[in-house]
């Protein structure tokens, strides 16, 4: 693609709100010289738990680590199955495959609702189904009530991949707390960023405590504890990894969490502008435009008219300085998963119909409404030229 170098984008796909506040917080951590999980991490966990309405939360090094720890908590065995949308980030499938289990791919509901279809999920349940993963695409809630009915009926676990959806209220509680385990990401492009980072919440305290142990080799005491107590001994009663966040990331995340309400407001205005301008485009689908509830508005996806040359549209937008992306190439289109036993169970009719038509437009809170109007107008021009 003849995209201009990064600095020449007029409007980048994503950006963050990092400023002097984060710089001050991070500098303070560096001056303290305690850099791995400690007081900042504990404070980040407390503040996240307070805001999301849980007793506790476990900060980790990435959203992928959060999902991996969730799957480890299920004690998946070879042959076990975990159902998830085909239209998700590959991390969700990888953590299941790495456990020797089978990611079973379900369809999404419709071109204008890109969350997993509970009817297809119900159809895909077998005696081996251990869990269902609900991914809140672009920050819009998946149909949790319907998915919960399916998991309850079959004794399966409901995991929420809420990487797109920090602090979104739905049916009286936050996303991530409807299921048994909720996973969040603080990657550089997410609404709350720590550079890299993640968080896990769990309905059951015992599950959450096991996830906290597995985050740090299942050690009974941490380096932080040993520093404070002077006791050098520890035991290991399970298999774990090092998925701890750094104190630098935790300090960054704490400041970012406080900025989320303003970020949400800006995104709301941008999405309204996009929808207003793009309503003029015949056959262009604006996913979730009919939703009335809360959303993190993480992405601004559109589904191009059938038969559109997406590459040409992206070239046209790039020429106008507008960066775009695709969320996502469906998991079953990726080489590693193409012949996976869980890839062919569902016809994936909607996913396959929209896969080549999905396009994500720039959306971040450093954009002005004029930026959104400009990007939308550029898309309209590209569509008229086809």
Give whole-number Cα distances, 133 to 117, 147, 167, in Å: 11, 9, 18
Counting runs of H as helices and runs of E as strands, what totals does the chain give?
A: 13, 13
**Shortest reach from residue 92's CB to ligand PLP, in Å:** 5
Which of 148, 174, 176 has the alpha carbon at shortest distance from 66? 176
The residue among 69 and 91 lying less far from ligand PLP, judged by its C-beta, is 91
Cβ distance to ligand PLP smaller for residue 160 or 308: 160
> Which residue lies nearest ligand PLP, judged by its C-beta?
63
Kindly tell me which of 88 and 340 has the beta carbon lying closer to ligand PLP: 88
Angle at 301 (CA atoms; ends 298, 303), nearest 5 degrees: 165
**Nearest residue (CB) to ligand PLP, 104 versus 278:** 104
* Choice between 63 and 240, CB closer to ligand PLP: 63
Residue with tokens 């042959």: 79
Closest distance of CB 54 from ligand PLP, Å: 20
CA distances from 180 to 160, 191, 204, 303 (A): 8, 23, 7, 32
Taking the least distance from each CB to ligand PLP, the nearer of 70 and 150 is 70
Q: List the structure tokens of 207.
A: 């599950």
Closest distance to ligand PLP from the beta carbon of 192 (Å)? 11
Residue 259 known to be catalytic: no
d(C-alpha 354, C-alpha 30), whole Å: 47
Q: Which is nearer to ligand PLP, 92 or 287 (CB)?
A: 92
Nearer to ligand PLP, 105 or 278 (CB): 105
256-263 long-range Cβ contacts below 8 angstroms, 24+ apart:
256/16, 256/17, 256/18, 256/22, 256/186, 256/192, 256/193, 256/194, 257/44, 257/47, 257/48, 257/51, 257/192, 259/17, 259/192, 260/166, 260/167, 260/191, 260/192, 262/17, 262/365, 263/17, 263/191, 263/365
Of 190, 210, 267, 327, which is the active-site residue?
190
DSSP 332: G
Structure tokens at 109: 């509901």
Which residues bind to ligand PLP, rule: CB under 6 A? Answer: 62-64, 88-89, 91-92, 135, 161, 163-164, 185, 187, 198
- Minimum Å gap between C-beta 41 and ligand PLP is 16
Longest dimension (CA), the chain: 71
Reply yes or no: is the peptide bond before residue 328 cis, omega within 30 of 0. yes
Smallest distance from ligand PLP to CB 14, Å: 11
Minimum distance between the CB of residue 183 and ligand PLP, rounded to whole angstroms?
7
Q: How far is the CB of 377 from ligand PLP (least distance, A)?
A: 28
Tokens of 20: 């002097």
DSSP 278-320: HTTSTT-B-TTTT--S------EEEEPPTT--HHHHHHHHHHT
State the nearest-atom distance from the C-beta of 37 to ligand PLP, in Å: 17
Judged by DSSP in three states, 96 sits in: helix
Residue with tokens 């508005």: 297
- Catalytic site positions: 190
């Amino acid at each position: 693609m003849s995209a201009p170098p990064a600095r020449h984008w007029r409007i980048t796909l994503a950006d963050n709100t990092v400023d002097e506040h984060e710089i001050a917080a991070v500098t303070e951590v560096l001056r303290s010289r305690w850099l791995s999980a400690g007081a900042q991490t504990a404070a980040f966990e407390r503040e996240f738990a307070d805001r999301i309405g849980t007793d506790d939360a476990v900060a980790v090094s990435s959203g992928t680590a959060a999902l991996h720890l969730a799957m480890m908590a299920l004690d998946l065995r070879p042959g076990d199955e975990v159902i998830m949308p085909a239209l998700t980030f590959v991390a969700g499938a990888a953590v299941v495959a790495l456990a020797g289990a089978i990611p079973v791919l379900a369809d999404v509901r419709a071109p204008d609702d890109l969350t997993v279809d509970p009817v297809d999920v119900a159809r895909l349940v077998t005696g081996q189904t251990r869990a269902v993963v609900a991914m809140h695409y672009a920050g819009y809630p998946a149909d949790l009530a319907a998915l919960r009915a399916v998991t309850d009926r079959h004794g399966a676990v409901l995991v929420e991949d809420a990487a797109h959806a920090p602090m979104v209220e739905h049916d009286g509680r936050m996303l991530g707390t409807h299921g048994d385990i909720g996973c969040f990401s603080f990657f550089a492009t997410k609404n709350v960023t720590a550079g890299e980072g993640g968080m896990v919440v769990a309905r059951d305290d015992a599950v959450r405590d096991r996830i906290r142990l597995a985050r740090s080799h299942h050690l009974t005491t941490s380096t932080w504890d040993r520093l404070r107590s002077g006791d050098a001994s520890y035991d290991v009663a399970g298999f774990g990894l090092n998925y701890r966040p750094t104190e630098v990331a935790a300090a960054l995340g704490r400041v970012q969490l406080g900025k989320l309400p303003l970020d949400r407001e800006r995104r709301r205005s941008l999405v309204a502008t996009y929808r207003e301008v793009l309503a003029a485009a015949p056959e262009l689908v604006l996913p979730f435009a009919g939703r009335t509830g809360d959303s993190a508005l993480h992405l601004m996806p559109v589904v191009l008219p059938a038969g559109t040359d997406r590459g040409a549209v992206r070239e046209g937008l790039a020429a106008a300085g507008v960066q775009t992306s695709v969320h996502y190439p469906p998991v079953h289109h990726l080489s590693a998963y193409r012949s996976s036993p869980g890839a062919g169970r569902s016809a994936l009719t909607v996913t396959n119909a929209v896969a080549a038509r999905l396009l994500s437009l720039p959306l971040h809170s450093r954009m002005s409404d004029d930026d959104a109007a400009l990007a939308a107008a550029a898309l309209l021009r590209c569509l008229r030229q086809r």
